Amino acid sequence: MAGPAGGSPWRLAWRRLRANRVALGFLGLFVLTVLFCLAAPIWADKVAHTGPNDTHTLQKIEVDGEKRDVVNVEGKPIGPVWLGADGKFFLGADGRLGRDEMVRLMYGGRISLFIGIVSALITTILATILGLLAGYYRGATDAVISRTLDVIWAFPVLLLAIALGLTLAVGGLQIGPLHLSGSSIWIPILIIGLVYTPYVARPIRGEVLALREKEFVEAAVAQGAGPLRVMFGELLPNLWSTIIVFFTLAIANNMLLESALSFLGVGVQPPNTSWGTMIATGLNLITSAPLLTIIPGTMILLTVLAANVFGDGLRDALDPKSKIRFEAHSGLSATEGSERIEGIVP
């Protein structure tokens, strides 16, 4: 008997995703943002001729033939000059320090994206391991892991992250021989990666509990497969679609949290820049130079939106069953139902 046309689940998922133009469009936006930020060293070196932290308070530049202060005597920074100075200060200066806003936007995006992606990786890896262990072993192991996750989950995410950030800001973090200074970007990465772990681990645990009862697991055990082989050889492949979806959605959530922490002064530490710190800096000049706040805020909005919409599309492509089940039985949309069961929304 011939099998269905199209073959493997991955190929089918790719077909569904390809048909979702909106998701692909936002993927394209996300990729463009990443490329924009990756181009930071090129722009800084070849166009702006300045680094992200270089100050130019007393400097004058020629804009369309006219000499202008980067920062005037009253402390007001120059606004966007676009291509009037051959690309230098394209978006103007970031404040009284006279740093190039465009350069900082690009470098800041690198840091925001790096933190968002790496912390999402940490979240999904930690959550997968904990979910597998709790779901497979059940009993005391499940109880310990689940209660620990419950304790972390009990704290509002932002408050927990602020508390950890403040604690580690001065002395840094010592893990054995490894010391991270308070200004290291690994501090917010680890904090954000940790605080969102329960939101991903619990649903993965739920899936493992369900998969564990399937015949293929029984068969593997009957063939002599040990726990590690079952978890990572049998269960994990069936979780990939869930993990990938969580990963993309976690990028969006984690970038938002990073922006909030950096804005509050407990995330990325100055003079390093992220979009969150740029909003905080711009706030000091909100009345005289509102673009300094609007531009990085818009970048956060677009990037998080892109990650979220693509993540939704990916979920629809990889896990259509959840869509059918929810629409048929609960009257909830796939998004509403999935978010409830996933607990991804704190």
Partner 1 sequence: MRKLGLKLLVLGATIGSAFGVAACGDSAGGKEGGTLTGSYAAFPDYLDPGLSYLLEGWTAMYDTYIPLLTYAHATGEAGSKVVPGLAKSLPKISNGGKTYSLTLQKGLKYSDGTPVKASDFTSTVERLFKLNSPGTSFYSDIVGAEEFAETKKGGIAGIETNDATGEIVINLTKPRGTFVNELGLLFVALLPSGTPAKDLTANPPPATGPYVITKAERGRGWSYERNPYWAKANAELVPEVPSGHVNQIEISVVRNDSTQVSNVEQGKTDWMQPPVPSDQYASIKDKYEGTQFRIDRPINVYYFWMNTTEPPFDDLKVRQAVNYAVDTAALERIYSGSLAATHQILPPAMPGHEEFDLYPHSMAKAEALLEQAKPSDLDITVWTDNESPNDEAGAYYQDVLAKLGFNAKLKTINADSYFTVIGNLSTPDLDTGWTAFVQDYPHPSDFFSLQLLGESIAPIYNTNFAQIDVPALNKKITKLGEEELGPEQEAEYAALDKEFMEEAPWVPYGNNTLSTFVSSEIELDEIVFNPTFGQDLTSFQFK
Q: Which is nearer to partner 1, 54 or 339 (CB)?
A: 54
C-beta of 284: minimal distance to partner 1 in Å?
A: 5
User: Judged by CB under 8 A, which of 231, 289, 314, 318 binds partner 1?
Assistant: 289
Distances (CA, A) of 313 to 34, 207, 246, 324: 19, 20, 12, 15
346 scored as a contact of partner 1 (CB under 8 A)? no
C-beta of 174: minimal distance to partner 1 in Å?
A: 11
Total residues contacting partner 1 by CB under 8 A comes to: 32
| Residue burial 123-154, b: 16+ Cβ < 10 Å; e: rest | bbebbbbbbbbbbbbeeeebeebbeebeebbe
Residues 147-206 that bind partner 1 (CB under 8 A): 166, 169-171, 181-183
71 scored as a contact of partner 1 (CB under 8 A)? yes
User: Judged by CB under 8 A, which of 97, 125, 305, 332 binds partner 1?
Assistant: 97
Q: Which is nearer to partner 1, 73 or 345 (CB)?
A: 73
Residue 290 Cα to chain centre, angstroms: 26
For residues 260 and 268, the answer to whether their CB atoms sit within 8 Å is no
Backbone angles phi, psi at 246, to 5 degrees: -60, -40
Q: Which is nearer to partner 1, 96 or 315 (CB)?
A: 96
Q: How big is the CA angle at 330 (ends 329 and 335), to the nearest 5 degrees?
A: 115
**Residue 290: half-sphere exposure toward Cβ, Cα within 13 Å:** 1
User: Judged by CB under 8 A, which of 16, 24, 54, 305 binds partner 1?
Assistant: 54
For residues 60 and 70, the answer to whether their CB atoms sit within 8 Å is yes
338 scored as a contact of partner 1 (CB under 8 A)? no
238 scored as a contact of partner 1 (CB under 8 A)? no
Give dist(CA 15, CA 11) in Å, integer: 6
C-beta of 170: minimal distance to partner 1 in Å?
A: 6
79 scored as a contact of partner 1 (CB under 8 A)? no
User: Judged by CB under 8 A, which of 47, 57, 148, 320 binds partner 1?
Assistant: 57
C-beta of 333: minimal distance to partner 1 in Å?
A: 39
Q: Which residues contact 127 (CB under 8 A, 6 or more apart)?
A: 197, 198, 199, 200, 201, 204, 246
Taking residues 244 to 283 in sequence order and writing x for each that binds partner 1 by CB under 8 A, - otherwise, the string is: ---------------------x---xxx-----------x
For residues 110 and 38, the answer to whether their CB atoms sit within 8 Å is yes
Tell me the three state secondary structure of residue 67: strand
For residues 100 and 312, the answer to whether their CB atoms sit within 8 Å is no
User: Judged by CB under 8 A, which of 72, 174, 330, 335 binds partner 1?
Assistant: 72
Q: How big is the CA angle at 314 (ends 154 and 252), to the nearest 5 degrees?
A: 45
Q: Which is nearer to partner 1, 88 or 315 (CB)?
A: 88
**Which residues are at the interface with partner 1 (CB under 8 A)?**
53-55, 57-58, 71-76, 95-97, 166, 169-171, 181-183, 265, 269-271, 283-289
